[in-house]
Structure 1
Amino acid sequence: MTLAEEFKTRNFSIYGQWSGVLCMFLCFGLGIGNLFFRPVVIIIFSALCLASSFIILFVEVPLLLRICPTSAKFDTFIRRFTTNYMRAAIYLVMSIVQWLSLLKEPTGLIAAAVLLLLTAIFYSLAGLKHQEFIGSKTLGGQGVAQMIV
């Protein structure tokens, strides 16, 4: 199945997965970009945004759990997020954390908060519509990880 065919399935979990990938890049860039020359509170939120990007990487690209040396505890934590509702929950929590950064001062972290919230909405819609989670083949889903082992 090509990427265009995946989007044509109208499965919100595919939309969530790809917007999650965008979140990963955005959180990484904003996390690094806001680490310097800011108040300490914003630096903490930037570090949390940067950490979120790595969590998203392992949640959305399951192939990496097989090829990257990680601890069993981390693997167990990441494997909790296999359903649409659990993924919506983690994205919602990461979004709330970034929204809280606005209490100190408005920064570019609001873009991460908005996109994380959008991703949580996509996964929630997939759950509410009773759509099964479908991982994109491009990102290592649907048998690609099993073919490597």
Structure 2
Amino acid sequence: MGFVEELKSKNFSIYAQWAGILSIPFLFIAGGLAFISFVIFAVIAWILAFILVFIEIPFCLKICPTSPNFDAFIRIFENNLFRTVGYVVFAVVTFAFVSKSVFYVLPGLSLAIAGICYGIAALKHQSHASSKLTGGTGV
């Protein structure tokens, strides 16, 4: 199944994965812009982006050496419900810094969209699926 077929599958877990992947560069860019003026947000944004790389791109867990503790932490997010909670928390943390700069809205918005899509997938009882393009199993 190709990328277009995955998007046509109406599996909200796939939509959420791509929203999460989209939020990774947004977090890196916002962290870079904030590094000079607001170091706390920059560090938090980069840590969130690093965690999201391993959560959303299964191929990275296969090729990168990680510790058993980190692998156990990432496995917490295998369920759509836990991913919903995680993304909502990440979005709230990001939106908490919006009063400092408008640049933080885009990462927070993409994290919130991913959380909403994972929430819809959990409510519809859709099993978690990750795109074949990122090393996942597909739909």
TM range (shorter): over 0.9
Cα separation, 2, equivalents of 1:106 and 1:135: 33
One-letter amino acid of the counterpart of residue 28, structure 2 = F
1:115 and 2:110 equivalent? yes
Specify the SS of the correspondent of 1:102: coil
Specify the SS of the correspondent of 2:126: coil
Q: Which segments of 5 or more consecutive residues in structure 1 lack a partner in the other structure?
A: 144-149
* Structure with the greater alpha carbon radius of gyration: 1
- 1:48 counterpart residue number: 44
- 2:119 counterpart residue number: 124
Specify the SS of the correspondent of 2:77: coil
- 1:94 counterpart residue number: 90
- 2:28 counterpart residue number: 28
Shift of 1:17: 0.4
Structure 1 runs of 4+ with >2 Å offset: none
**Could you state the TM-score of these two structures normalised by the residue count of structure 1?**
0.88
State the identity as a percent. 38
Moved more, 59-68 or 105-114: 105-114
Q: Which segments of 5 or more consecutive residues in structure 2 lack a partner in the other structure?
A: none
Specify which of 120, 128, 132 is matched with residue 133 of structure 1. Answer: 128
- 1:78 counterpart residue number: 74
- 2:57 counterpart residue number: 61
- 1:146 counterpart residue number: none
- Do the aligned residues in 2 keep the contact of 1:63 with 1:139 (CA within 8 Å)? yes
Shift of 1:106: 2.8
Cα separation, 1, equivalents of 2:42 and 2:94: 9
Cα separation, 2, equivalents of 1:116 and 1:137: 21
1:12 and 2:12 equivalent? yes
- Do the aligned residues in 2 keep the contact of 1:12 with 1:126 (CA within 8 Å)? yes
Cα separation, 2, equivalents of 1:11 and 1:53: 24
RMSD: 1.3
Task: Provide the aligned length of Structure 1 versus Structure 2.
Answer: 138
Shift of 1:88: 1.0
One-letter amino acid of the counterpart of residue 108, structure 1 = F
Cα separation, 2, equivalents of 1:92 and 1:45: 17
